[in-house]
Amino acid sequence: MILYKLIEWPEHKTIKRLLIFGVILFAIVFPIMSVFFILSGYPVSFLESQLSFNGQILKTHYLVTNIDLYRIAQTLDYGYMLSYGLIIFSIALIVGRKFDKESSWTKMGCIIAFLGLLAALCDTGENAFILAMLSNPLSFPDVWAIIHSIFALIKWILLLVCILWIIIALVILYIKR
């Protein structure tokens, strides 16, 4: 499988740089993005909004939201996606490579690294629909909310799988010592 090329590529030094870049980007973008989300007055949590599967509910949220500030937050979210995608990608490869080269844990590390990037890609799809909905926040097609929520659901499932794998792999490495 082509993903298993990640067992050796990119070099460890490059992965560390990607991780550092991801962490720095996260530290810069997340607080600024969070301020814009708060200032926008969006009335519910991310999870409740992202998994609503309902255009009418989102339209009522947009009625009480400062759309311009919310749009800025959603645009900044692209930097956040890149940051967490790079962080998961890098950590999964670093952790996976700590196991024997031929082990299933190493191979799973490659798959998890890819899934971390796929989660961020799903998040970009989700945000594309959010930005489309914000272009006409009171009369966008309701199906856009459903598609947006499907992207969000896939993203959350992938993130959960990635984070759980990383935690379990780290525990196994710790026990093996």
pLDDT in tens, 50-100: 999 999 999 999 999 999 999 999 999 999 999 999 999 999 999 999 999
What value, to the nearest 5°, has the Cα angle with vertex 18 and ends 16 and 19?
65
Instruction: Give the CA distances from residue 105 to residues 85, 89, 109, 132, 157, in Å, rounded to whole numbers and listed in that order.
Output: 20, 15, 6, 40, 20
Return the CA Rg of the chain.
Answer: 18
CB atoms within 10 A of CB 130: 23
pLDDT in tens, 122-145: 999 999 999 999 999 999 999 999
Residue 3: what pLDDT?
A: 78
pLDDT band at 46 (very low <50, low <70, confident <90, very high): confident
Mean pLDDT of 43-55: 93
**pTM of this structure:** 0.94
Domains of the chain by residue range? 11-176
The two structure tokens encoding residue 67:
């759309």
Residue 57: what pLDDT?
A: 96
Cα 173 vs. chain centroid, distance in angstroms?
Answer: 25
Query: For residues 25 and 77, is the Cβ–Cβ distance under 8 A?
Result: no
| 33 residue type, one letter | M
